[in-house]
Amino acid sequence: MAIKLHPHNLIYPYFVTEGKGRKETIRHFPGIYRFSVDRLIKDIAGLQTSGIDKVLLFGVPFRKDPRGAGAYSRDTVIAQAVRAVKKEFPGLTVMTDVCLCAYTSHGHCGVISAKAPKVKLDDQKTLQALSEVALRHAEAGADWVSPSAMAKKQVRVIRTALNRQGLGRVKILGYSAKFASNFYGPFRNAAHSAPRFGDRRAYQLDPGDERSALKEIQDDIREGADMVMVKPALGYLDIIRQAKDASSVPLAAYNVSGEYALIKYGARSGLWDEKKMVFEVISSIKRAGADYIISYHAKDIAQWLKKN
Ligand code: PBG
C-alpha cells in the first residue's frame, strides 16, 4: 500500500535573524533564507495556505560570545519571533531549537571546558544555559522546545525548569539520536555555526554507533520527552525504524540541509526530477517509521500534494 503523506506530518524550519526587512540568501542553500521577524511573518502567511501547521525556529543573532549569552540573557531574537508569530497565527504550532551553537563565538553547542585534545563541554554550565534558553522560548509562547545540543540530561533539566515555572504545557522534542554528520553544511552557513576549532564528535553520535542511538532515544523518553528525533534521516533509515519500534512517543526525523542540497543541486544539473526525487525520499523516511518529518522541502511538498 502506498504511503500517505499529509501536510500535518511536516515541519518547516526557519532561520530568524535580527533587524528589519531582511530576507537573506544563504550559501549552498537554494530556496532557503534568513528572515527578520517582519519578513518571517509574511512568509508564514504563505506557508499556512499550503496546509503546513508546524514550524521550527532557529535563531541567528548578530553578535556572538563564548557563552552564547545572546540565546538567553536578553529579549532574544527567537523570543521576539515566537511572540510575533503566535500573535499573528495563534493556531500554528511553534517549535524552537534550543542550542547554543548559533550564539557562541566558537560555534560549539555548549559552554566549553576544554579545547584539546578533544573539545569538551562543561555539562553543568551548558545545562544551566540550555534551560534558560528553553525558558525564554516558553515564556514567549513556544508550544514545543527542542534541545539539540546533545548535552547529557538536557531533557530532564529542561522539563524540571519548565514545570517549576508553571510552563508544564510546553512540550519537549528531544534531538535524541543526533549523529556527527557531514550533511549539516548548508545549515552551518545559515546559522554561521561551523565550529571554529575541533568538531562535534565529542558530543554527537558516531555514524556507526547504532546502540548508543537507541539508548539516547530511551534516555530522552525516560527523562520526559514528548517526542524524539533521529537526525539526519536518509542515511539513518534503519535507526528510524528501530527507534519507531522501540518508542512509546511519536517519532520525528530530520531531513537535514545536506540531504536537501543534494536533491536541489542534482535537479538543477538536470540529473533528476526534483518533485519525483523529493517524494521518493520523503516516502522512504515515512515508510521507515517517522511520524513527523522536518524538511526544507516541506513547503514544496505541501503545494505538490494540493495539486495531485
Ligand atoms: C545544532 C544543529 C545542527 C542542525 C540543527 N541543529 C547541526 C550541527 O550540529 O551543526 C543541522 C540541521 C541541518 O543540517 O539541516 N544545534
Distance 2 CA to ligand 1 centre (A): 31
Percent of all residues in the chain with a pLDDT value above 90, rounded to a whole number: 88
pLDDT tens digits for range 221-232: 999 999 999 999
Q: What is the mean pLDDT of residues 248-260?
A: 98
pLDDT at 3: 67
Give the number of the atom of ligand 1 that is nearest the alpha carbon of residue 256: 15
pLDDT tens digits for range 280-290: 999 999 999 99
pLDDT at 2: 62
- Lookup: cell for 75: 529579549
Q: What is the mean pLDDT of residues 290-298?
A: 98
Distance 141 CA to ligand 1 centre (A): 23
The 3-state DSSP class for residue 21 equals: coil
Going by alpha carbons, the residue nearest to atom 12 of ligand 1 is: 256
Give the residue, out of 28, 183, 256, with the most ligand 1 atoms within 8 A of its beta carbon, to mutate for a pocket test: 256
- From first CA to last CA, the distance across the chain in angstroms is 18
Amino acid at 111: V
- Is a pLDDT exceeding 90 seen at residue 116? no
- DSSP class of 4: P
pLDDT tens digits for range 18-61: 999 999 999 999 999 999 999 999 999 999 999 999 999 999 99
For strands 120-121 and 112-114, give the pairing: antiparallel
**How confident is the prediction for the chain on average, in pLDDT?**
95
d(CA 67, CA 158): 18
Give the residue, out of 14, 101, 230, with the most ligand 1 atoms within 8 A of its beta carbon, to mutate for a pocket test: 101
pLDDT at 199: 85
Distance 88 CA to ligand 1 centre (A): 27
SS (H, E, C) 163-193: HHCCCCCCEEEEEEEEECCCCCHHHHHHHCC
- DSSP class of 205: B
Distance 308 CA to ligand 1 centre (A): 32
Confidence of residue 200 (pLDDT cuts 50, 70, 90): confident
Q: CB neighbours (10 Å) of residue 289? A: 18
Going by alpha carbons, the residue nearest to atom 14 of ligand 1 is: 184
Among 3, 42, 6, 4, which Cα is nearest to 301's?
6
